């Protein structure tokens, strides 16, 4: 189990749990590690992208200092999305990639995500080596000297290459379509509008004025209310909301209704099946997917896998089995044929593909998928493992499971990125959901675990 790197990178409050010194050490180790076996005349090449947080610049410069001090070259994509970094690392044969972002977290948090040469999340074995170096358990690595010191290269052209790739995936023009985009004041603000305008859409954009502190603030895929109103008020055909680093997408239909990750998996999975392209006749979901999704999939004869929460685990399942579509309710959707990670803009393009191919609205495409009422509440705690092992809490959870039977479910888990316990209940009635979520949260509080 990694000490610093969770399911989505090394994440924490900037200069509190994640510091510039951490970033420098990560850069020092990666520059040496990927450059140590290079032949004479070859240079290690590491790509860095970042989101719009104020602290992202601090971490970028710290990483650059560490990497170049170890003799590797750094290529800077500047403000860009996580999936664009993964794409460029793979297509340009970089040694690895780094994305500076805390995704959907508030601006004061940040994160460092490591990507391997295949454009995938870095393997656990390498992460453990990085952590050992951070903690001083792996010895020091040599400093480069003279002409061996690394250099920094502006690689903003990588964004254009990525946008050209996205645009190449659209099978039809978007001419005549009115599309709303919520860029969450994050990484997509310079990319999403251009992609959709180049594809012919009439584009309406909100939350595309980042100031370093407003990323994800009451906007984007974690705050959908604004986009829902915006779509209805401007009579748009569809809306798409991204998160801070652009690897999530949630949609809004023309009536202002949210189509979440489960709905997107249903729509595109059905589209693939109808064309005979759903490999294994399966989609990949997580344990957080809604009961309603499984009932809708059962109705059309599509099977499904369930993984732990995290697009890392969804991707591993897809890669091991060759499945083409999978993701999370939160909007991390992976289209394995085209990407190695969740990609918000790519997801929006694939939804547009189904709408245009079927010549129908998003509301009609999503209509067969009926969500079960769901209540999800987070409680901030000090020690996730202690809470989840407490016999009183375990017993309370089992009692709720028995009470719900086959008419619902409860899921209590620790967040992979924050000091939170997440309590989720699905049932046929919203009052039942609230009752059982409250009972678990109250038990945790009474036991004194709340931070």
**How far does CA 439 lie from the centroid of its chain?**
30
Active site residue 103: yes
Angle, vertex CA 129, rays to CA 125 and CA 130, nearest 5: 115
Answer yes or no: is 243 a known binding residue: yes
Per the CB < 8 A criterion, the answer to whether 77 and 152 are in contact is: no
Answer yes or no: is 103 a known binding residue: yes
Q: Which of 38, 69, 75 is nearest to 149 (CA)?
A: 69
Which DSSP helix (H) or strand (E) runs through 226? helix 225-233
**Helix 344-358 vs helix 82-91: angle between axes, to the nearest 10 degrees?**
90
The rounded distance, in Å, linking the Cα atoms of 312 and 450 is 29
Among residues 56, 62, 101, 103, which one is catalytic? 103
- Write out the DSSP string of 83-139: HHHHHHHHHTT-SEEEEE--TTS-TTEEEEEEE-TTSSBPPHHHHHHHHHHHTT-S-
Residues facing 48 on adjacent strands: 76, 98
Per the CB < 8 A criterion, the answer to whether 99 and 115 are in contact is: yes
Answer yes or no: is 211 a known binding residue: no
Answer yes or no: is 245 a known binding residue: yes
Q: Which of 273, 271, 274 is nearest to 282 (CA)?
A: 273
Per the CB < 8 A criterion, the answer to whether 175 and 200 are in contact is: yes
Question: Known catalytic residues?
Answer: 103
Which residues are annotated binding-site positions for Mg(2+)? 103, 243, 245, 247
User: Which amino acids are annotated as binding site, given as ranges?
Assistant: 103, 243, 245, 247
């Amino acid at each position: 189990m990694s000490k610093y790197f969770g399911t989505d990178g090394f994440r924490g409050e900037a200069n509190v749990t994640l510091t510039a010194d951490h970033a420098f050490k990560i850069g020092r180790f990666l520059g040496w590690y990927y450059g140590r076996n290079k032949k004479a005349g070859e240079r290690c090449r590491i790509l860095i992208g970042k989101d719009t947080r104020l602290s992202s610049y601090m971490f970028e410069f710290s990483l650059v200092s560490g990497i170049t001090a170890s003799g590797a070259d750094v290529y800077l994509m500047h403000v860009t999305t996580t999936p664009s970094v993964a794409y460029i690392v793979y297509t340009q044969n970089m040694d690895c990639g780094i994305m500076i972002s805390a995704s959907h977290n508030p601006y004061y948090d940040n994160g460092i995500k490591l990507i391997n040469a295949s454009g995938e999340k870095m393997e656990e074995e390498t992460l453990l080596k990085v952590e050992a170096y951070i903690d001083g358990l792996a010895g020091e690595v040599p400093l480069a000297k003279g002409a061996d010191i690394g250099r920094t290269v502006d690689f903003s052209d990588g964004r254009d290459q990525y946008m050209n790739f996205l645009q190449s995936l659209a099978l039809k023009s978007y001419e005549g379509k009115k599309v709303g985009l919520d860029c969450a004041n994050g990484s997509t603000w310079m990319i999403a509008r251009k992609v959709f305008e180049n594809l012919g859409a009439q584009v309406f954009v909100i939350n595309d004025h980042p100031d370093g502190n407003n990323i994800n603030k009451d906007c984007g895929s974690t705050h959908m209310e604004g986009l829902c109103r915006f779509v209805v008020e401007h009579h748009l055909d569809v809306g798409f909301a991204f998160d801070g680093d652009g690897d999530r997408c949630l949609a809004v239909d023309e009536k202002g209704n949210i189509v979440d990750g489960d709905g997107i998996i249903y729509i595109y999975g059905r589209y693939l099946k109808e064309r005979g392209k759903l490999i294994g006749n399966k989609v990949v979901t997580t344990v957080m997917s809604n009961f309603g999704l499984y009932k809708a999939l059962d109705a059309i004869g599509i099977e499904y896998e369930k993984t732990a929460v995290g697009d890392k685990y969804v991707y591993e399942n897809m890669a091991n089995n060759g499945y083409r579509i999978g993701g999370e309710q939160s909007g991390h959707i992976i289209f394995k044929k085209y990407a190695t990670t969740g990609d918000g803009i790519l997801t929006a393009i694939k939804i547009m593909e189904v709408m245009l191919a079927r010549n129908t609205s998003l509301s009609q495409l999503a209509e067969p998928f009926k969500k079960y009422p769901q209540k999800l509440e987070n409680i901030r705690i000090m020690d996730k493992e202690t809470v989840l092992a407490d016999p009183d809490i375990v017993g309370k959870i089992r009692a709720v499971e028995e009470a719900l039977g086959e008419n619902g479910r409860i899921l209590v888990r620790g967040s992979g990125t924050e000091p939170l316990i997440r309590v989720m209940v699905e049932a046929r009635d919203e009052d039942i959901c609230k009752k059982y979520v409250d009972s678990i949260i109250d038990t945790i509080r009474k036991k004194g675990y709340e931070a």
